[in-house]
Amino acid sequence: MLRKSRSSDLKIDTAIILAGGPATRMKPLTDTVPKGLINVLGKPLLQWIVEWLQDYEIRNIVLGVAHMKEKIIGYFKEGSELGVNIKYSVHTVGGGTGEGFRLAIKRHVNRQNFFALNGDQITNLNLGRLEKFHLKHGQIATMVVTNPGCPFGHVRINKSLDVTEFLEKPRCSAAVCNAGIYAFSRDILRYLPNKGDVEKTMFPTLARTRQLKAYAFKGFFTTINTLKDLIEAENELKRLHR
């Protein structure tokens, strides 16, 4: 994995991963395989995430599944081969992240605080530091935010309009984006919609009432939503594993 040290003193031991979307932007790969089982450098995307959680001894994992759910359940089973305990929460594809998180919490989460994430990112985020930040502030939700990579190369010029340097898709330091990784209090159930995505429904409400904290992260982070993302993620991981 991407981490070099293990953290075994976390108070949070549970995480929800949503892996229910149809991933139409990754066709034709996702015509027969759900996005969570797409290989990233020889390993299914969801396995990268589960192993990262297991590194922090997050052993109780709930997988929210919908599209091609049987294939995900058949691959991970109860999680014992990866040293975790996996339970499954089935939601509808149209229900969005709101329904996915809501049903997973109601069915399988009895902890007051837990991690929740979209199942499409690979990162070396330190979950111990995220937990400490979340518990210290005591809000209903903490959102991990990061500086995204710019999709275009940059050209630097001087005052005389000479081109001085080329930067290949640098980090956009002025931009902050939602990384799709959260720490939630169980009180989040009061705000989760029956259907719809939390980014459009719940989070704006929490932001208006100052119940949403942002945890800034500047380490390795890549999200995979397109075939281009997949190629770039594999190149980044090869570079990190040299």
Q: Would you state the pLDDT for residue 152?
A: 65
Residue 162 has pLDDT above 80, yes or no: no
Would you say 193 and 201 are in contact if contact means Cβ atoms under 8 Å apart?
yes
Residues 6+ apart with CB under 8 A from 122: 2, 40, 45, 48, 49, 52, 220, 221, 222, 224, 233, 237
Q: How far apart are CA 127 and CA 3, in angstroms?
A: 11
Closest CA to 106 of 94, 86, 90: 90
pLDDT bin (cut points 50, 70, 90) of residue 155 is: confident
Q: Which residue has the higher pLDDT, 113 or 4?
A: 113
The answer, yes or no, to whether residue 5 has pLDDT greater than 60, is no
pTM, 2 dp: 0.87
What pLDDT does residue 59 have?
A: 94
CATH superfamily of this structure's domain 14-240: Spore Coat Polysaccharide Biosynthesis Protein SpsA; Chain A (3.90.550.10)
Distance CA 224, CA 69 (A): 19
**Can you tell me the mean pLDDT for 222-230?**
89
pLDDT of residue 80: 93
In tens, the pLDDT along 41-74 reads 999 999 999 999 999 999 999 999 999 999 999 9
Cα separation, 89 vs 106, in Å, equals 10
Q: Residue 141 above 90 pLDDT? A: yes
Q: How confident is the model at residue 97 (pLDDT cuts 50, 70, 90)?
A: very high
Measured between alpha carbons, how far is 224 from 234 in angstroms, rounded to an integer? 10
Tell me the mean pLDDT in the region 76-83: 94
Predicted pLDDT of residue 171:
61
